[in-house]
Amino acid sequence: MILHQVLLYLVHTFLAIRTWLASLYHGLKKPLAFKHRKRNVHRIKSDSKELSKLPIHVGLVVVEDDFRYGELASLVVWCAAMGISYISLYDSQGILKRNNTSLWQEIMKQQQELLGEDSNKYSIELVKGNRTATQLTGQKYSVEVRLLSSEDGRTDLLHAAQRWCQDVEAKRKKVGDLEPTGLEGLLQATKGAPDVDLVLKFGTVDSLLGFLPWQIRLTEILSLPTHHSIDYQTFLLALQSFGNIEQRFGK
């Protein structure tokens, strides 16, 4: 157990140092990096096949005050190109929810830049609350991006517990019937989506600030100092680290 914790600490430290160096580099070389990113789609598909394990549901948790929609859009499109079907994009204050139009414009831009002719194969749905905010219809790959805030985390869990208690009081359910799967059915934030496999936390705050407490019981969490000037190599390294982590499920 101690060895496992040490390995996780070393992985997090290495990712933090690498992201800082990447941020410094891209601040000077951003035009070149942007040009290079345009031709990454085939490389991403190839990299995806080489991963030992690919997450189905990725949480992108931003605990920073300064949001860069271009970089967040890149992360979304990289996930889509990798074959990741569910993405939860979270900030505790709901800033991304309120500015979903700006984020969506960047996603469409990055999708065209990165995927090129393959962009029409991807159906990307942006979900805010229980409603679809915007959607691109594709022919082959389906990707759901959920915009979440604190009200979708602890508040959603509280409301689910209240609904369960009401059902017990009305004798529609028994106290002994309460199981994890039963409570999950009452949660609205991720209804229809699997539990989060991997969380990438961006920011120096040592907290997820209320991100989906019930749905991350077995989630691997990797911390990066910032999403500013995030590059594809750092993203790929995080996925490779996820694939190399042995999930012990409490053992």
Say if residues 93 and 105 touch (Cβ distance below 8 Å): no
Q: What is the pLDDT of residue 34?
A: 43
Q: What is the pLDDT of residues 92-102, one digit of tens each?
A: 999 999 999 99
The alpha carbon of 148 is separated from its chain's Cα centroid by a whole number of angstroms, namely 10
Q: Are strands 122-128 and 131-136 parallel, antiparallel or unpaired?
A: antiparallel
Which of the given ranges, 61-75, 125-139, 189-203, 207-221, has the highest pLDDT on average?
61-75
Is the whole-model pTM more than 0.85?
Answer: no
Task: Say which residue, 102 or 137, is predicted with more confidence.
Answer: 102
For the chain, domain boundaries: 2-153+189-244
Rounded Cα–Cα distance for residues 222 and 206 (Å): 11
Summarize the confidence of residues 117-122 as an average pLDDT.
86
Structure tokens at 29: 């070389």
Task: Say which residue, 73 or 17, is predicted with more confidence.
Answer: 73
Rounded Cα–Cα distance for residues 54 and 58 (Å): 10
17-21, 98-102, 173-177, 231-235: least confidently modelled range: 17-21
Rounded Cα–Cα distance for residues 24 and 21 (Å): 5
Task: Please say if the pLDDT value at position 197 is more than 80.
Answer: yes
Task: Please say if the pLDDT value at position 36 is more than 60.
Answer: no
Assigned fold of 2-153+189-244: Undecaprenyl pyrophosphate synthetase (3.40.1180)
Q: For residue 14, what pLDDT band results from cuts at 50, 70 and 90?
A: low
Its sign, for the CA torsion 28, 34, 37, 39, is: negative
Task: Please say if the pLDDT value at position 121 is more than 80.
Answer: yes
